[in-house]
Amino acid sequence: MNKTTKDSFRTIIRREYIKAALIPIMIIEVMLLILYFSINFYKDNKAKETLLKEAKVNLSEISKLETEKINLELKQISQFARILQSENQRFFEQPDRYPLPAEPPILKIAANGSMYKENDNGGSSIYYSNLIPFTSKSFTKAIQTEALDPLFKEIKELDSNIVAVYLNTYDNMNRYYPFIEKTYEQFEPGLNIPSFNFYYEADAIHNPSRGVVWTEAYLDPAGKGWMASCIVPIYNGDFLEGVAGIDITIENFIKHILRLKIPWEGMAFLVSKTGDILAMPPKVEQIIGISELKSHTYAETVKKNTFKPESFNLLKNPETSQIFKDFLHSKEFLEESQIKGHDFLLSKYPVEETGWLMVTMVDKDILYAPIYSLHKLGILLGIIAIFFLILFYAAFFIFLTKRAKKVANDLSSPLDYVIITTSTIISDKPPTLLNPVGIIEIDHLLENFNRMMQKLRSVYDEQEMKIAEGVRQLREKDHMLITQSRQAAMGEMIGNIAHQWRQPLTSIAMMIQNIQDAAKYGELDKKYLDEKIKRIMEVISYMSKTIDDFRNFFKPSNGKQAFNICDTLDYALSFIRPSFVHNNILIETQCDKNVVLEGYPNEFAQVLLNILNNAKEVLVERGIGQPRVYIHLKKTFDKITLAIGDNGGGIDPDILDKIFEPYFTTKEMGTGLGLYMSKMIIEKNMNGKLYAQNTSDGTEFIIELYE
């Protein structure tokens, strides 16, 4: 046993005596405490899981129930809108068939040029923009549409969610129920009504099906605040006479949301299909940091569409987009998320009629509050138990210390002689024989010690010689393997150089022959000769560069360095591509250009070249039709995987495990070192993994590397 400090035998006996008596009991007590706290921890986790499952079920049911209620209310409003559409379209087809109210409207032109209805005869107000000059038909339409007021009034009174019913026509007339006095003060005189969302969202371009459309939240031009509209197009044949609508205010939905009773102090809010907050209670405002716009101050007449600011869009607000983007787009109805340092359980359920989402939130700290309370109580009880155990073991330790001291004195005396005698032994001198002391166990120890010292010297000398010889042989073997591997690689490279040079040499021969023919037929002049010589020198320069590239390839990398794997792959392919082209072998590569690794680029390129050469030889030797080699590089987390495969028919399963062994080869002239050295480079030098496996039509070599 190695120790940095030395203890006396008496100290050891005292210590071990105390250990033997005290430690087992302490271990048992500690294990009981660990078991106690582990059970508490396990129980708390299980309770959390159970409570979380229950909360998810409850939130899901509550969301589903409440959205179904909202959906029924909105669906009813949609039904009213369809009735409104049907009656309006019948009116525009035959307006003369509809009776007018007993009290006729009083229509006047305001000072700003707009038409309005002065008297409240129990029906709708009228605003007629002067954007298009008024004609007798304009006054006739304003009067005849009074026949629609009973329908507007009845629909308004049928549902408490409805705050207004209206008709907007293509020529900028607005009929609005309930009555608004002095509409010329509320609206801009030259207002272009078809440019507002509550009109154009129902036109032929935006609503070719002519069905019911629900708008996003917008500021009501009639002064009712923030609202959404259920709108329908009114057609006379194929002509769009206008758009009728039913308004519901956002404030009504806020009241509905506030009335919800969600367990665990949960909260709910309503979101549009584009991410705009439609309604939310004050608690949600505090959590996400947005104050709801329940009302609006009309400082001037309405001129254009006014939507909620982008800060009210959960997908566009920088504070909320990261939190809610994935959740709102996810197909999952339940999700756990962190908002401003608090963990929340979020649920959502769609309102089918409008595409809105009912979102509920429960703070997990509140959800787990009873469990946290029990957990604290369990911890307190455990601390009390630890305190009493410390008091008990303090007293017990004092008793054991006194007892151990007496036992140590009784046992250590016979060893004094052994200590004094063995202190004179020096390792580099002949062993000293020790005399017995009269204790059987110690005498046996001394006898064995004497024999061991005599044997140790001879064994040590013999082992030194064997180790030196083994090291020498290993160095010779490694040198021979490296030399043979380089020679084999050089042979393959020479073949690749031949493929690289074949085309340039042919080009040079043809140009020399052209010069000879030109001289023969008297066409050789200085310009022609200079041009051919320049071209020949370019080809020779290319061949020289090829030699330099091959020479640099065999230089070992100067230590580890960061290199781009795709660039190294292209570098290796540049040597072997002519040979592949010559043998009609297709190379397919899928490579992420951003994958960078710390290692040895030249050695890595040599590994790639070994594998690609083997694939080429198999495809050529077996005469594969449409031979193909694919190279796929991908990165997942901290692992880089490079797969090189072919359609050469695969490797015999009986020898698949042997191909990386030194000197194992299936080639007639092979050395059996290429794959062995490749595996050594990847697994020893680059801390990776190289292995092979058969695929459906060939063999695939996998290189796994770690950043």
CA distance 347 to 62: 10
pLDDT at 298: 44
Residue 301: the pLDDT is: 42
Place of tokens 């309405």: 302
Pairing relationship of beta strands 628-636 and 586-590 according to DSSP bridges: parallel
Strand partners, 689: 704
Of the residues 228, 246, 264, which one is the last residue of a structural domain?
A: 246
Structure tokens at 433: 């024989």
Percent of the residues in the chain that have a pLDDT greater than 90, as a whole number: 20
Residue type at 590? Q
Res. 628 pLDDT band, cuts 50 70 90: very high
Please determine, for residue 702, whether its predicted confidence score (pLDDT) is greater than 90.
yes
Same domain, 158 and 301: no
**Number of DSSP helices (H) and strands (E) in the chain, helices first:** 16, 21
Q: Are 167 and 313 in a shared domain?
A: no
Among 3-12, 13-22, 672-681, which is the least confidently predicted range?
3-12
Domain membership of residue 203 (yes or no) is yes
The confidence score (pLDDT) of residue 299 equals 45
The confidence band for 88, taking pLDDT boundaries of 50, 70 and 90, is very high
Dist CA 638 CA 657 (whole Å) = 27
Of the listed ranges 155-159, 466-470, 530-534, the one predicted with least confidence: 466-470
Question: Does 36 fall in a domain?
Answer: no
Examine the domain organization and report whether 97 and 238 are in the same domain: yes
Within a domain: 374:
no
Give the whole-angstrom CA distance, residue 30 versus residue 24.
Answer: 10
Q: Helices 9-93 and 149-158: crossing angle, nearest 10°?
A: 150
Q: How confident is the model at residue 557 (pLDDT cuts 50, 70, 90)?
A: low
pLDDT tops 80 at residue 592: yes
Give pTM, 2 decimals.
Answer: 0.46
577 shares its domain with 530: no
Task: Write down the pLDDT at residue 390.
Answer: 82
Confidence of residue 5 (pLDDT cuts 50, 70, 90): low
User: Which range, 438-452, 542-556, 620-634, has the best average confidence (pLDDT)?
Assistant: 620-634
Distances (CA, A) of 469 to 455, 476, 508: 22, 11, 57
495 shares its domain with 443: yes
Same domain? 259 vs 230: no
Which of 555, 585, 614 corresponds to the end of one domain? 555
Residues 551 and 562 in one domain: no
Q: Which helix (H) or strand (E) holds 21?
A: helix 9-93
pLDDT in tens, 380-431: 887 888 877 788 777 777 776 777 676 666 656 556 655 655 555 544 455 5
**Residue 232, phi-psi category: left (phi > 0), alpha (psi -120 to 50), beta (remainder):** beta
Mean pLDDT of 323-350: 76
Answer whether 315's CB lies under 8 Å from 328's CB: yes
Q: What is the mean pLDDT of residues 615-638?
A: 90
pLDDT given for residue 306 in this prediction: 53
What mean pLDDT, rounded, does the chain reach? 77
Which backbone phi and psi does 197 adopt, to 5 degrees? -65, -30
pLDDT band, very low/low/confident/very high, at 559 (cuts 50, 70, 90): confident
pLDDT given for residue 235 in this prediction: 95
3-state secondary structure of 426: coil
The answer on pLDDT for 323 being more than 90 is no
Residue 401 domain flag: no
Is position 489 within any domain?
yes
pLDDT of residue 425: 52
Judge whether 30 lies within some domain.
Answer: no
Tell me what pLDDT residue 543 has: 60
- Locus of tokens 């990261």: 322
- The share of the chain scoring above pLDDT 70, in percent, equals 72
pLDDT for residue 466 is more than 50: yes
Distance CA 62, CA 43 (A): 28
- One domain for residues 186 and 173: yes
Q: What's the pLDDT tens digit per position in 259-279?
A: 777 778 777 777 877 777 777
Examine residue 483 and state whether it is found in any structural domain, yes or no: yes
Instruction: Identify whether residues 184 and 94 lie together within a single domain.
Output: yes
| Confidence check: pLDDT of 182 > 90 | no
Query: 549 and 571 share a domain?
Result: no
**218, 285: one domain:** no
* pLDDT score for 176: 92
Query: Does the structure show a pLDDT above 80 at 646?
Result: yes
Final residue of a structural domain among 520, 555, 590: 555
The H or E element spanning position 5 is none
- Contacts of residue 202, Cβ cutoff 8 Å, sequence gap at least 6: 213, 231, 232, 233, 243
Mean pLDDT of 185-208: 87
pLDDT at 455 over 80: no
pLDDT digits (tens, 9 = 90+) for 563-589: 999 998 888 888 788 888 888 999 999
For residue 347, what are the β-bridge partners? 334, 360
pLDDT bucket at 212, cuts 50 / 70 / 90: very high
Q: Name the more confident of 329 and 417.
A: 329
- Asked if pLDDT for residue 698 goes beyond 90, the answer is yes
- Asked if residue 277 and residue 295 are part of one domain, the reply reads yes
In a domain, 96, yes or no: yes
pLDDT single digits (tens) 265-322? 777 777 877 777 777 777 777 777 666 555 544 444 445 445 566 666 777 777 676 6
pLDDT at 184: 87
Whether 242 has a pLDDT exceeding 90, the answer reads yes
Domain that holds residue 129: 75-246
- For residue 697, the domain's CATH number is 3.30.565.10
* Number of separate domains in the chain: 4
Is residue 169 predicted with pLDDT exceeding 90?
A: yes
Q: 440: which 2 tokens?
A: 């059987």
121: domain CATH number is 3.30.450
